[in-house]
A and B are shown apart, each in its own frame.
Chain A
Amino acid sequence: QKEVEQNSGPLSVPEGAIASLNCTYSDRGSQSFFWYRQYSGKSPELIMFIYSNGDKEDGRFTAQLNKASQYVSLLIRDSQPSDSATYLCAVNLRSNTGKLIFGQGTTLQVKP
């Protein structure tokens, strides 16, 4: 079992819809959680981070964390074709060195 798991997709949504991306992690002691967006051949771009249970909103993005269920999600409202990319969930485990463990990423396709 991978430490961080995501459905690889592709997840296809129509333009203007809400895209829901999910991620589970195995280490209950994980401290912090990050969502990165990566276009093909480019570097990961930080979108959201969340440390506490509950929701965190930033513009069209909402991150949700449930530590009891070891589950983190990213909602993208009013999806745009430019949101089409791979979304990587990354987890900072209980260590104090900051290294990130990534999921395999979910490919999102937003269709006009």
Chain B
Amino acid sequence: AAGVIQSPRHLIKEKRETATLKCYPIPRHDTVYWYQQGPGQDPQFLISFYEKMQSDKGSIPDRFSAQQFSDYHSELNMSSLELGDSALYFCASSLSGINNEQFFGPGTRLTVL
């Protein structure tokens, strides 16, 4: 079965640079979520989109922005990167509805030097 696709899988950036992470949800899934997981921590919700509209926002810095496109893929744009942004970034997708299961992509490991 098709899974969530994320690219790139690894990314190394310098401080103050920008990064763009991409997510392609499972076909027919209309909702995308972004999570950040720091070393030894649990995943933290950043932002979600349903039918190309932002549906919820969590602890996402103002330096970050995201959107969902007409083909349902999503991009997380990160600017003015800081050392503390180094983490695993996961995208998950689901069908809409509060009880629908979220399936996670393999993640993008971002390292900020």
Residues of A in contact with B (beta carbons under 8 Å apart)? 31-32, 34, 36, 41-46, 49, 51, 88, 92, 95-105
Contacts and interface: CB of A to CB of B under 8 A. Distances in A.
Pick the most buried of B31, B94, B104, B105: most chain A CB atoms within 10 A of its CB: B104
Interface bracket on B: 20 to 34
Nearest to A2: B42
Contacts of A46: 101-104
B60 to A, nearest CB: 12
Contacts of A98: 31, 33, 48, 55-56, 94, 96-98, 100, 102
5 contacts: A36-B104, A41-B109, A98-B94, A99-B58, A100-B43
Contacts of A42: 106-107
Interface in B37-54: 41-45, 48, 50
